[in-house]
Amino acid sequence: MNIKIVAGLIFVLFGLSSLCKGSDVGTPSTYGSYHLLKQHERQGTDYQIEVLRQLPDVVILAPHGGGIEPGTTELAFAIAGSDYTCYSFSGIKLEGNSNLHLTSTTFDEPVALNLVHHSRRTITLHGLSSQSDTIYVGGRDRYTRHRLENSLQAYGFQVDEHPAYAGTNLNNICNRNQNRAGVQIELPNGIRQKMFASLDREGRTLPTPLFYTFVTAVRQAIR
């Protein structure tokens, strides 16, 4: 068979396979799994895992928290409040925290997996590097996603969907709950910078009114 035809068939089959699973394109990962990450990075020195165990049916996660995607940890715990379970995997290095990034479809840290597996609703918070103010909402939980989009828009936020951040892959950490359907929120730098005095460690201790508006909008959508 002609080599070009074979290559074309492989490309088509790969594309169909990706569509069936759902496209989740994100930041490349230095490590392909938590098992590999922990062989090179030290918990307590390079990263930390924080868990607030409350209502187990709803879990709010910041899988790229701390210095990896700044602001997502603070937002996750504020959304959880005194009601919902919250998890954060945070980079705590002085620099190079991006090396701790595990993609959403390869995020397999055991504590996070256990919390998600026992939940019925899961919301993950992520950060994008763009300076846009548009929030991208994805995931397989269409009901919660729809409520969230409506609530955010009602509070004045720009909301859209993006094929690169669809969050529909079944292996995505947000979709690994009992319903196999969760919600993924992508927050660009542009909007996160307006939620804090700055995105460095000190600045993230000083949330702005926009921070609380976002938290209120999300909590109203999931209550």
Longest CA–CA separation in the chain, Å = 64
Q: Does pLDDT of 89 surpass 60?
A: yes
Model pTM score: 0.88
- Quick check: 165 and 184 in contact, CB under 8 A? yes
Q: Which residue has the higher pLDDT, 175 or 20?
A: 175
pLDDT band at 29; cut points 50, 70, 90: confident
Q: Does pLDDT of 6 surpass 90?
A: no
- Quick check: 88 and 204 in contact, CB under 8 A? no
Closest to 139 (Cα-Cα) out of 159, 121, 115: 121
Q: Does pLDDT of 203 surpass 70?
A: yes
Interval 176-199 mean pLDDT: 98
pLDDT value at residue 28: 64
Which domains does the chain show, CATH number per domain? 33-222 (3.40.630.100)
Contacts with 114 (C-beta within 8 Å, 6 or more apart), sequence order: none
Tell me: the pLDDT tens digits for 110-167?
999 999 999 999 999 999 999 999 999 999 999 999 999 999 999 999 999 988 999 9
Q: Does pLDDT of 204 surpass 50?
A: yes
pLDDT value at residue 19: 34
pLDDT value at residue 7: 38
Looking only at the bridges linking them, the beta strands covering 55-66 and 121-128 are parallel
Q: Which two tokens stand for residue 162?
A: 């993006």
Q: Does pLDDT of 200 surpass 60?
A: yes
